[in-house]
Amino acid sequence: MITLGNPEELAILLREQRQQGHRIAFVPTMGNLHDGHISLVREASRLADFVVTSIYINPLQFGANEDLDKYPRTLEADQQKLQEAGNHLLFTPDSTAIYPEGLERHTKVIVPLLTEGLCGASRPGHFDGVTTVVNILFNMVQPDVALFGEKDYQQVAVIRKMVRDLRLPVEIRTGATVREVSGLAMSSRNGYLSEDQKAQAAQIYTTLTAMREQLLKAAHDLPTTIAWGIEALEEAGLRVDYLEIVNSDSLQAARDRSEPLTIAVAAFLGSTRLIDNLSLSPIRDTE
């Protein structure tokens, strides 16, 4: 596996791949790779001849009081995992390569509406940072297909919308959330949790699955199901940032069960913010 951080070298190498008629798959990440990322890389190598993964901790998507400085940096371990998963090229640009004139002066890509609720409401500007950097990375890599994890449900919806609106010539694929045996969704932020906290955090998935059961059985109306879920999470010692049942397409609060539904949650355990979701309708894989 080749590791490089220079966009010009990346362009030369990828041009050679394209000249050989190779299809390129891309997995953008912020590193500290876990089985969720690795399952995307494995799927990428099924879909394409040449797999590029990027590791770039994007300052533009972190708020002032968020964990940019302490975000885990584990390059050697990540390289090992990628090598084993059959990744061909690891792209590790620095901020000079991504934002040459600095964050403040850089053009931003903003997706309206879909970014207003859920994580967008709690983390103002977060998705502007995501769409801006993903756009830059797409332009640098020019992949045929790019893969993202369904754990970040809103992120996937926002990126699909950006790709559609800007006519970006890339196919977006998603990979199912990979979970610990306890049900806890794998996340780089789980590394901030003690073993006891991980057991506590597993209540997030337990609560989501119980809510899904309630919805499938039409046991209660939506607000009652949400109130039940908030209470269950609080009883488990979590501080709920949001717990919503949204329309899976618009991400607006759902009105009733006839809509495609996704239950989306963000909750704090100590200072660690965890997100998860569960859809009642299948998530579409291609546009």
d(CA 102, CA 96): 8
Residues touching ligand PAF, count (CB under 6 A): 10
Structure tokens of 199? 């057991």
> Least separation, in Å, of the C-beta of 29 and ligand PAF?
5
> Least separation, in Å, of the C-beta of 37 and ligand PAF?
8
Tell me: does residue 130 bind ligand PAF (CB under 6 A): yes
Task: Indicate which single residue of 10, 14, 30, 114 sits in contact with ligand PAF (rule: CB under 6 A).
Answer: 30
Structure tokens of 95? 């901020």
Contact string (CB under 6 A) for ligand PAF, positions 227-256, x = contact:
------------------------------
At 69 the three-state DSSP class reads coil
Tell me: does residue 29 bind ligand PAF (CB under 6 A): yes
Catalytic residue (one of 34, 37, 88, 126): 37
Q: CB nearer to ligand PAF: give 88 or 189.
A: 189
Tell me: does residue 128 bind ligand PAF (CB under 6 A): no
Task: Indicate which single residue of 152, 244, 259, 276 sits in contact with ligand PAF (rule: CB under 6 A).
Answer: 152
What is the length of the chain? 287
Segment 59-88, which members bind ligand PAF (CB under 6 A)? 61
Q: CB nearer to ligand PAF: give 92 or 206.
A: 92
Task: Indicate which single residue of 10, 40, 134, 238 sits in contact with ligand PAF (rule: CB under 6 A).
Answer: 134
Query: CB within 8 A of 105, min separation 6: which ones?
Result: 99
Query: CB within 8 A of 278, min separation 6: which ones?
Result: 205, 208, 209, 211, 212, 262, 263
Q: Are 256 and 173 in contact (CB under 8 A)?
A: no
> Least separation, in Å, of the C-beta of 31 and ligand PAF?
8
Q: What share of the chain is helix, strand, coil (3-state, %, to 5)?
A: 40, 20, 40
Q: CB nearer to ligand PAF: give 152 or 259.
A: 152
Query: CB within 8 A of 61, min separation 6: which ones?
Result: 125, 126, 127, 128, 129, 130, 133
Q: Which stretch binds ligand PAF (CB under 6 A): 28-36, 221-229, 231-239, 261-269?
A: 28-36
Tell me: does residue 132 bind ligand PAF (CB under 6 A): no
Q: CB nearer to ligand PAF: give 174 or 262.
A: 174
Q: What is the dihedral of CA 26, 31, 33, 36, to 10 degrees?
A: -50
d(CA 103, CA 88): 30
Q: CB nearer to ligand PAF: give 117 or 229.
A: 117
Active site residue 22: no
Q: CB nearer to ligand PAF: give 53 or 197.
A: 53
Query: CB within 8 A of 50, min separation 6: which ones?
Result: 14, 17, 22, 23, 24, 25, 88, 89
Residues labelled as active-site residues: 37
- Which stretches of the chain bind ligand PAF, using CB under 6 A? 28-30, 58, 61, 130, 133-134, 152, 155
